[in-house]
């Protein structure tokens, strides 16, 4: 379907940010591993989080959606796969990565697969990191990608993993380690990208009763031929249980970036509720970015107010800890005055798409002048009307719709926002930006 602008009127107002996708995934997984029954409030129900719910049910958790909360009776760490064949995770890369380690806790084999896009996601680094822990993981196509076969058995021990590819690999090991036979020592080597996502994982693990020790130091190590001294983040996770709790999911700064950018681009004022000042989400960085580009931001304890005159200026920005903001910032740059330099997002090439490449190609369709780099792009403001393709990427569809504030735009395969923000059209409409899907 095609996503396009239906009407623009009286931009501004008040709207609630959708629940965090990252926290929703982690909450349902940890509740499913815990002893007892948890109630998860303000959960995000989207295509991606449904994938996590499906596999947690398949591995033995009892999950019931009630009015206002999701009830999860956990397995106490005793997992059993009830599926005869592969478990379909659709397009959820988060579910695939987090649950690959968790699946080794099952007392029988688990096969994880998904759609065509999911089967392009590299998994080799995680597979290699799991082997020293006694986990047997095999790519059934021998290409280090899904379908992935995980055999039962998680002995524990020590392992290391590079920190510059996907923080979800690190979170995957951390989440499953307390339930291993002997605990885990995990060493994250070299540059630690998207670290706030790991901080989120540690925070919610604590809510479900798990404690671990973490330290950072320099250590002589032959972890890479180009380096004799490596920075190492060390995590020590002893054997322990997750305990059920009641947990409320906070608002999602990634999804809220579209609501905030709407005001920044068009001009006006808005209040976005359910965004917490003390959030550990890396994508909270969008507030700093918008301020630097010319918007005014006021921080409340559980809300953000934004005002703008619609005149944005170019900036230099490192998105190494907030890669999911890449496409939003690229669109802001395309509508700003001057040249914006975006760096630090080489790891965005292994998301739903190669987000650096697809963003550049689609902006070029709109006449945007840019240079693509291995870890980002340089964008000179100025675009025209046109038709772009989402490439099946929810973030591209939502971010590019904002160009419709200034120019006619149509996004093919535009309905994919359901992956992370099912109420995207309704939320944008509350701020006066009416979008529609047409055949």
pTM for the whole thing? 0.92
Measured CA to CA, the distance from residue 215 to residue 180 in angstroms comes to 21
The DSSP string of 312-336 is -B--EEE-TT-GGGHHHHHHHHHTS
Helix (H, G, I), strand (E, B) or coil at 351: coil
Active site residue 324: yes
Domain boundaries 2-18+252-438, corresponding CATH code: 3.65.10.10
* CB of 247 closer than 8 Å to CB of 40: yes
Give pLDDT, residue 212. 85
What the block records as the tokens of 355 is 């987000």
Interval 179-210: pLDDT, tens: 999 999 999 987 787 889 999 999 999 999 99
* pLDDT tier, 222 (very low <50, low <70, confident <90, very high otherwise): very low
Beta-carbon contacts of 101 under 8 Å, excluding residues fewer than 6 positions away, are 126, 130, 135, 154, 172, 173, 175, 176, 177
Radius of gyration of the chain (CA): 21
* pLDDT tier, 131 (very low <50, low <70, confident <90, very high otherwise): very high
Helix (H, G, I), strand (E, B) or coil at 187: strand
Low-confidence winner among 36-50, 53-67, 191-205, 414-428 (lowest mean pLDDT): 191-205
pLDDT greater than 70 at residue 111: yes
Helix (H, G, I), strand (E, B) or coil at 423: coil
Question: With pLDDT > 90 as the criterion, what percentage of the chain qualifies?
Answer: 91
Low-confidence winner among 34-43, 134-143, 156-165 (lowest mean pLDDT): 156-165
Measured CA to CA, the distance from residue 326 to residue 304 in angstroms comes to 21
Give pLDDT, residue 213. 79
Please tell me what DSSP assigns to residue 178.
Answer: G
Give pLDDT, residue 217. 57
pLDDT greater than 60 at residue 228: no
Measured CA to CA, the distance from residue 377 to residue 342 in angstroms comes to 5
pLDDT greater than 80 at residue 227: no
Q: What is the mean pLDDT of the chain?
A: 95
- Cα distances from 244 to residues 75, 146, 189, in angstroms, run 10, 31, 32
Measured CA to CA, the distance from residue 221 to residue 331 in angstroms comes to 41
* pLDDT tier, 374 (very low <50, low <70, confident <90, very high otherwise): very high
Which has the closest alpha carbon to 356: 389, 396, 321, 409? 396
Q: Catalytic one among 42, 88, 252, 324?
A: 324
* pLDDT tier, 225 (very low <50, low <70, confident <90, very high otherwise): very low
Domain boundaries, the chain: 2-18+252-438, 21-239
CA atoms within a 13 Å half-sphere pointing along the CA-CB vector of 226: 2
Omega within 30 of 0 (cis) for the link into 288:
no
* CB of 386 closer than 8 Å to CB of 409: yes
The domain 21-239 having CATH identifier 3.65.10.10: the answer here is yes
């Amino acid at each position: 379907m095609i996503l396009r602008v239906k009407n623009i009127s009286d931009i501004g107002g008040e709207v609630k940010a959708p629940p965090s996708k990252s926290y929703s995934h982690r909450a349902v997984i940890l509740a499913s591993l815990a002893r007892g029954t948890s109630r998860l409030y303000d959960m995000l129900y989207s295509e991606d989080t449904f994938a996590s719910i499906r596999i947690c049910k398949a591995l033995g958790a009892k999950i019931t959606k009630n009015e206002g909360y999701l009830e999860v009776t956990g397995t106490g760490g005793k997992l059993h796969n009830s599926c005869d064949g592969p478990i379909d995770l659709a397009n959820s890369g988060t579910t695939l990565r987090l649950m690959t380690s968790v699946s080794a806790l099952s007392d029988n084999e688990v096969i994880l697969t998904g759609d065509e896009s999911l089967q392009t996601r590299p998994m080799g680094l995680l597979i290699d990191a799991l082997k020293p822990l006694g986990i047997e993981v095999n790519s059934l196509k021998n290409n280090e990608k899904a379908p992935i076969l995980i055999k039962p058995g998680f002995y524990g021990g020590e392992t290391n993993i590079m920190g510059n590819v996907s923080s979800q690999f690190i979170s995957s090991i951390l989440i499953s380690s307390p339930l291993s036979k002997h605990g885990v020592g995990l060493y994250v080597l070299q540059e630690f990208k998207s670290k706030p996502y790991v901080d989120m994982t540690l925070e919610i693990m604590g809510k479900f009763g798990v404690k671990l020790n973490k330290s950072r130091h320099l250590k002589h190590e032959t972890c890479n031929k180009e380096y004799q001294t490596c920075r190492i983040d060390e995590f020590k996770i002893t054997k322990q249980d997750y305990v059920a709790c009641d947990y409320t999911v906070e608002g999602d700064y990634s999804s809220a970036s579209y609501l905030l950018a709407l005001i920044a681009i068009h001009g006006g004022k808005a209040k976005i509720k359910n965004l917490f000042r003390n959030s550990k989400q890396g994508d909270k960085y969008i507030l700093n970015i918008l301020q630097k580009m010319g918007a005014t931001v006021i921080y409340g304890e559980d809300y953000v107010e934004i005002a703008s005159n619609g005149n944005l200026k170019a900036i230099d920005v490192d998105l190494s800890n907030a890669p999911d903001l890449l496409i939003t910032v690229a669109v802001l740059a395309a509508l700003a005055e001057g040249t914006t330099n975006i760096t630090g997002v080489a790891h965005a090439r292994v998301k739903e798409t190669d987000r650096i490449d697809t963003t550049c190609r689609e902006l070029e369709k709109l006449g945007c002048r840019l240079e693509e780099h291995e870890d980002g792009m340089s964008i000179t403001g100025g675009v025209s009307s046109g038709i772009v393709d989402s490439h099946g990427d929810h973030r591209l569809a939502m971010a590019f719709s904002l160009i419709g504030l200034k120019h006619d735009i149509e996004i093919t395969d535009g309905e994919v926002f359901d992956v992370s923000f099912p109420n995207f059209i309704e939320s944008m409409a509350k701020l006066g930006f009416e979008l529609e899907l047409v055949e």
